[in-house]
Structure 1
């Protein structure tokens, strides 16, 4: 996760627990947003093909 956030170990050591939690929350939100953009609702044709 540090590599994805472009943080070094030294930078991580300088963060407080609250800042780390904020980073994690924002990271999870951004990942969920990416997944939502790549998904769509299934239609009847999809169910028929299943």
Structure 2
């Protein structure tokens, strides 16, 4: 996972194993004091395919 923060704006990147963890990651980032916005550029691995999907 990559995280870049500039003046309270968070940009997330990379790939995770399951799509359902993406909203949790974004929600946790939004809960941090000082965070103004969160842009998720996270992909996930489609189960059993070896193919990354998402944004």
TM value normalised by structure 1: 0.35
Q: Which one scores higher on RCO, CA 8 angstroms, separation ≥ 6?
A: 2
Find the structure with the greater CA-based Rg.
1
- What TM-score comes out, normalization by structure 2 length? 0.33
More strand by share: 2
More helix as a share of residues: 1
